[in-house]
Amino acid sequence: QKEVEQNSGPLSVPEGAIASLNCTYSDRGSQSFFWYRQYSGKSPELIMFIYSNGDKEDGRFTAQLNKASQYVSLLIRDSQPSDSATYLCALKTDSWGKLQFGAGTQVVVTP
């Protein structure tokens, strides 16, 4: 079983709709969770981080964390064509530098 699981997609979302991305993880000791956006040929860009159970909102993005279910999600409201990218879920399970990445979910926003 992979440590961090994401659907690879592509997730096709009409412009203006909500994109919902999911990420499950196996290590119950995971402490912090990150969402990165990566455009094709570019480097990962941090969108959100979340440490506590519940929701965290930043603009059109909402991260949701449920540690009991070992599940973290990212909602993108009012999706725009510029949101078309691969979204990487990452987490830290200890105090050291290693980020565990999921394989990424490709999102395609269609006009």
Residues near another protein (CB under 8 A): 31-32, 34, 36, 41-46, 49, 51, 88, 90, 92, 94-99, 101-104
Distance of closest approach, residue 17 Cβ to another protein, in angstroms:
25
Are the CB atoms for 64 and 72 separated by under 8 Å?
yes
- Judged by beta carbon, residue 17 or residue 99, the one nearer another protein is 99
Distance of closest approach, residue 44 Cβ to another protein, in angstroms:
5
Distance of closest approach, residue 34 Cβ to another protein, in angstroms:
7
Residues 71-89: b if buried by 16+ CB within 10 A, e if exposed: ebbbbbeebeeebbbbbbb
- Judged by beta carbon, residue 16 or residue 66, the one nearer another protein is 66
- Judged by beta carbon, residue 65 or residue 90, the one nearer another protein is 90
Phi-psi group of 67: left, alpha or beta (phi > 0 → left; psi -120 to 50 → alpha; rest → beta): alpha
- Judged by beta carbon, residue 19 or residue 89, the one nearer another protein is 89
Distance of closest approach, residue 5 Cβ to another protein, in angstroms:
12
DSSP track, 10-37? -EEEETTS-EEEEEEES-TT--EEEEEE
Pick from 4, 22, 30: nearest CA to 107: 22
